[in-house]
Amino acid sequence: METGKKGIALLEKGIDVSNGEVEKIAQRGYNEDLLPKTEDQRSMSWKNYFTLWMGSVHNIPNYAAVGGFLFLGLSPANIMFALVLSSLVVAGLMILNGKAGAKYGIPFSMHLRSTYGTLGAKLPGFLRGIVAAIAWFGLQNYTASLALLILIGKFWPGFLTLGGDFNFFGIGLPGLIAFTIFWGINVLIGLGGGKVLNKFTAILNPLIYVVFIGMTVWSVNAAGGFGNILAYRPNLEGVTIYSPLVVYLMIINSVVAVWAAPSSSVADFTQNTKSMKDQVFGQGLGLLVGYVIFAVSSVSILIGGSIYYGVEEWNVLNIVNKWGNLPAVILCIIVLLMTTISTNATGNIVPAAYQLSALFPKKINYKKGVLIAGVISYVIMPWKLMENQESIYTFLNMIGAVIGPVVGVMLAQYYFVAKQKINLDDLYMDTENNNSNNAYYGVNKAAYIATIIALVVSISGEFISSLKMVSSLSFIIGCGLSFVIYLLLKLKK
């Protein structure tokens, strides 16, 4: 597929819109949020990308995941190394799948259309941008609101008993208030878009260094030295022990699965890059540095706290809450809340808003999409999902299994089928006058076949006990399988 020859297709050096080509595209049924970003609209440097994902690494659910990794049989040192290795895999996915957005200035929804077709993109876009993003947005808000509840309780102990026996579908009044406050903050950050997010992450980045390095120093001292942390082994009685290679793969899959959604929709951010080098260097270095800090701090804090308090404690909030130093507690909880906001904005609310805009371009713009996604995330009452931990993991595994195959097909299409070329004139065709001669018209059947087969295989372990290990490696298997199947189907033509 060759790039179009019109003014809109002058992409290698940025798009010259002086001839009105963007306005012409807008008349074809696309709103402003879906148009390619012009050179003068791109404002993100490598520093912005370096800080973009930093906060997303240090969130409360990620610390809980590390607590689970400690029961897989690997030593603390090996878990740290596996986390760092996982960051390289995540960075590779981000950079590779972000190249189309960086080169052509297109958002994820349009990148998806270039892969699955104008009609075919609706289902994977709906699953990633609406189902996964909105549900995870609500869950992250609720998880972090528990930290906010602790923070409010430090200043106002009576708040924790406010409302007495009041119960709103399984949540008390203090919890409901804390959730609503934190939910509102996240929605406001989402409404601010990329400019507000860049400023937010710029403030958050140095705080992460100060707080989590400080917590690590405390944990090492509490444990009596770093050697005691490395030598620590949790009680593994009754726990299934796997071979080291399998555990490494399980940890890598878990970390990559957490990033599955952002890695698929990373074009929403790379479309704003000043240059290809900015997104490659910024994302690669940011994720690596972030995970080196996270690997050491998470393992040290959880083990150091367990040794110090004499109880195996794998919830970082419980450890922080036991501290006697009130200023330190407040600072740590505030930073944990900020990292969750960063995660929610970059990985959930922004993609959800863009996907709503892509599905209904004439009625919903980005800001309306944020509001709609925010309201839905509240109405689904995420605290209900948290009542049953098993159902949460099943849900997230299934969403990850869907996104893995989508990422695999996107990579195969862009790099090996399209040869890194997208025809924007065809991609932004008149939505009311589609024609079958257009390369992106309708549904890419090969992409759907590859995605569905890989999806069925990668979630099979959720329903067949003998294949449970397949689900433990769902993203890796789903992504790799869809990649191979799609290329085989395309090579036959």
Instruction: Quote the CA–CA distance of 117 and 483 in Å, as a whole number.
Output: 17
Position 376 pLDDT exceeds 50: yes
pLDDT at 183: 94
> Mean pLDDT over residues 52-77, rounded?
82
Q: In a 3-state reduction of DSSP, which class is residue 418? A: coil
The number of distinct structural domains making up the chain is 1
486 located within any domain: no
- Partners of 168 in beta bridges: 171
Banded model confidence at residue 452, pLDDT cuts 50, 70, 90: very high
pLDDT band at residue 194, thresholds of 50, 70 and 90? low
| Per-residue model confidence as pLDDT tens digits over 23-46 | 555 555 566 777 899 888 898 999
Q: In the prediction, which pLDDT does 89 show?
A: 96
User: Ranked by mean pLDDT, which of 2-11, 125-134, 146-155 comes out on top?
Assistant: 146-155
**Residue 52, in any domain of the structure:** yes
For residue 3, being part of any structural domain is answered with no
The residue count of the chain comes to: 493
Helices (H) then strands (E): counts for the chain? 24, 0
Beta bridge partners of 119: none
Place of tokens 């963007």: 22
Query: Is residue 5 very low, low, confident or very high in pLDDT (cuts 50, 70, 90)?
Result: very low
The letter for the amino acid at 240 is T
200-224 pLDDT tens trace: 666 776 787 788 889 999 999 999 9
Instruction: Say which CATH number the domain at 147 has.
Output: 1.10.4160.10
The values of phi and psi at residue 410, to 5°, are: -60, -45
* The residue type at 111: H
| Residue 381 is assigned to a structural domain of this protein | yes
Range of the domain at 288: 44-387
Assigned domain for 274 exists: yes
Does the residue 205 lie in any domain?
yes
- Do the domain assignments include residue 277? yes
The predicted structure's pLDDT at residue 469: 84
**394 within some domain:** no
Q: What is the dihedral of CA 320, 323, 325, 328, to 10 degrees?
A: -10
Q: What percent of the chain has pLDDT over 70?
A: 87
Name the percent of the chain lying above pLDDT 90: 41
pTM: 0.82
Cβ neighbours of 224 (radius 10 Å): 12
Q: Give me the DSSP letters along 432-446.
A: TS--TTSTT-S--HH
d(CA 181, CA 136): 17
